[in-house]
Chain A
Amino acid sequence: MSESIWDLLVRSFWPLVRGALLGTIPLTLASFALGMVIALAIALMRLSKIRVVSAIARVYVSIVRGTPLLVQLFVIFYGLPSIGVILDPWPSAIIAFSINVGGYAAEIIRAAILSVPKGQWEAGYTIRMSTATTLRRIILPQAARVSVPPLSNTFISLVKDTSLASVILVTEMFRQAQEIAAFSREFMAVYIEAAAIYWVICLVLSAAQSRLETRLDRYVAH
């Protein structure tokens, strides 16, 4: 190899960034969006007074948190075909990640809903709002403020966890890195370069989190 490591890093930069833009980031956004829908549903089920419903939600959370994400990915991508369900890498990854995020975020959302004082529900009821409207207009906006820091954690973890999708053949950033490294034999340099790009993405997300927190704090005494 006549090429210097510096040249390699420059040459591999765009393929890695493209892996992030076309793989890591859309995979994260789609999984998080779906995961939040699942999380809200599971959180509300968990808070249900109907015992069967809350039990189902509890079991869901227990299974998701009690099994490795990598195993969940393998079950969906390599396991389901043996019972006739064959999914492409992308749908497999999105399903696995959103199920996983849904389990963790459900607990965050449940706690955030419980943190809103009971008097807020009563104030909604006394102006004759339905439970659903009270939840949507009164409770969830206040719960959102509380849940932004822990949900940001979940989101940032998800960005990094999407690298696991490389093992089910999704060409996200880390899979790109593996291919470049294997070809160039410069494992150290290429993997550190990939790590640096993950870090930058997470820095941007942390900054976004601070801005969102400031915005949601505008109605709170300081």
Chain B
Amino acid sequence: MYQTNMYEGMLSETITIGGHNGHTINAYLARPLGAGPFPGMVLIHHAPGWDEWYRETTRKFAHHGYVTISPNLYFREGHGTPEDIGAKVRAAGGVPDNQVVGDVEGAMHYLRSLPYLNGKVGVLGTCSGGRATFLVACRAKGFDAAVDCWGGRVVMSRQELNPKQPVAPIDYTKDLSCPLLGLFGEEDQSPTPAQVAQHEQELKKYSKSYEFHMYPKAGHGFFYYDRPNYRQEQAVDGWKKVFAFLEKHLSAPVRTPQAVG
């Protein structure tokens, strides 16, 4: 836990990494200053895009001691404001699941190439990024913990499947390769509590390590302080659970206070 007499510094910048099929994409990286070693986190942005909230959250994780990367999953759609690019992707029906998995895997490999990584990498996403988090945790090897925040459409009807999203993520549950934390709201329409329960049954069926928390009086996106669904009490508790879970599974180093005066 941060103490007021601790030194703290961070470096955050846009970088380029190898994504799906070896294509170059850009990403936002934030890391604590110092030799480390630090655990790593990949953040998967939500459907509205690679936006300010994700930059802030990337820095938030660095503040908590994680070298953190947020890949731009919409890089191939051209460049403009995050909203304009997000709108373009919305009109196109999203980006293909295979591409997302490849880009996130590329971000994980980038972290694993860093000399100051402690060898552990987690992944977190919200909204469609929560869905992608579960998908990646099932389909890619190399993650040590996954946090799905209100990922909708993990459970999909046959009618919802399409060439970009040909398989419902829930159907990959048997392949989940790391512990999973899920945060959901009772008032959410996607995923509904019934869909979350269905997902939980599947996790139990395959004896997966997971913990789900269903928050009362919360709906979709209750961490987003700039949206009407923000719920202060639930968000504070949710963040607490996220960092406790990650510290348990990624062995986040305990900061050693260094007196400055």
Q: Do A and B bind?
A: no
Residues of A participating in the B interface, judged by any CB pair closer than 8 Å: none
Residues of B participating in the A interface, judged by any CB pair closer than 8 Å: none
